[in-house]
Amino acid sequence: MNDALKTEIAAINARWDEAFNRGDAAAVAALYDAESAVLPAGGDAALGLPAIQALFAGAIAGGVHDHRIEMHAVAGDGGYATQRGRWSARAKGADGAVQTFSGHITVVYRRQPDGSLRALTHIWN
């Protein structure tokens, strides 16, 4: 695994979790490419930054919190990178008790003109 790429994506994950957990859907959406798509398990695709911000704002408003991304593997070249891992978060279940939810995550990143990586495709189950 490329150590520099691993470090870069770990920093993106930390910024993602921090922004989500403080309730800042705009800051989460800012980590995505202008042509990005978020494909949640069992849900409709969120295409583009306004839809992505609305998707995460809805999750935050619905009580999802304590989100964590755990990176398992990264790969990439100068233009694109991928990440596989697991995610977890907490929310109240139908019975009102706080439950932990988790699943797999795959993210494809595209290198931006400023040199940063932003998520182009984000899929979870």
pLDDT band at 96 (very low <50, low <70, confident <90, very high): confident
pLDDT band at 29 (very low <50, low <70, confident <90, very high): very high
Bridge partner list, 82: 75, 108
pLDDT digits (tens, 9 = 90+) for 72-87: 999 998 899 999 999 9
Over range 24-45, report the average pLDDT.
96
Range of the structural domain that residue 91 is part of: 3-124
Q: What is the mean pLDDT of the chain?
A: 95
- At 62, which CATH number? 3.10.450.50
Give the global pTM.
Answer: 0.94
Residue 14 and residue 35: Cα distance in Å, rounded? 22
Q: How many domains does the chain have?
A: 1
Residue 23 and residue 114: Cα distance in Å, rounded? 26
